[in-house]
Chain A
Amino acid sequence: SFELTQPPSVSVSPGQTATIPCSGDGLSQKYVSWYQKKPDQSPVVVMYQDMKRPSGIPERISGSNSGNTATLTIRGTQAMDEADYYCQAWDSRTFVVFGGGTKLTVL
């Protein structure tokens, strides 16, 4: 079965750039979305189809997908960005698969 792997945690200083990777076999052949989840809230999509930002998501958040790794990049990280981030892949064969999540800590 198709699996997505994320590091359990990433730490970043305020104002710096946070990079969250997500790996899976042949991932560049699938569309990748990213969700931000804060405690006691439902997930919010912050990136979809690899690099498209939904309305209301700031431009300092960007995405890429190449080879076996998709990456969510947050520039100028702020305290409000502290959350769990989940990657998710979709294609017409495997449908929907989520990664295990990365806890982003803004130190």
Chain B
Amino acid sequence: QLQLQESGPGLVKPSETLSLICTVSIGSISTNDYYWAWIRQSPGKGPEWIGSVSHRGNTFYNPSVKSRVTISVDTSKNQFSLKLTSVTAADTAIYYCAREVSTARGVFGYWGQGTLVTVSS
């Protein structure tokens, strides 16, 4: 069973850059043409898709954060990463990495456990 694990700082200062890595195990990030995603959930709100990347580096971003986000993939390390610049308190959330299921685009069947990122000085 594919496993995903998020890692990165749990506390980021306002105006700085949030950086997270998702490590994929028991499976290759280069298998087929799946899209790998970052999704976040703030307290009391529904999940918010941040963006997705393929193993070839093709990316799609949520327009609401597009100007601040970069998602990239490192196939040699079986990882993909998220960078979100100029963060504010509104970016405080649990951040999940996820992968599409094999049979449908835009359906996330594999999720990491999530990592809480707090934006505070």
Bound together, the chains give a CA A79 to CA B60 distance in angstroms of 38
- Give B73-121 interface residues, CB cut-off 8 Å to A: 96, 101, 104-109, 111-114
Given contacts A42-B96, A42-B112, A54-B109, contact A49 B104 (CB under 8 A): yes
- What does the 1/0 interface line of A80-102 toward B look like (CB < 8 Å)? 00000010101100011111110
Classify chain A's interface size.
20 to 34
Q: Which residues of B contact A (CB under 8 A)?
A: 37, 45-49, 52, 60, 62-64, 96, 101, 104-109, 111-114
The main secondary structure of chain A at its interface with chain B is strand
Closest to A41 in B: B113
Question: When the two chains form their complex, are residues B60 and A49 in contact, meaning their CB atoms are under 8 A apart?
Answer: no
- Measured between beta carbons, the chain B residues less than 8 angstroms from A86 are 46-47
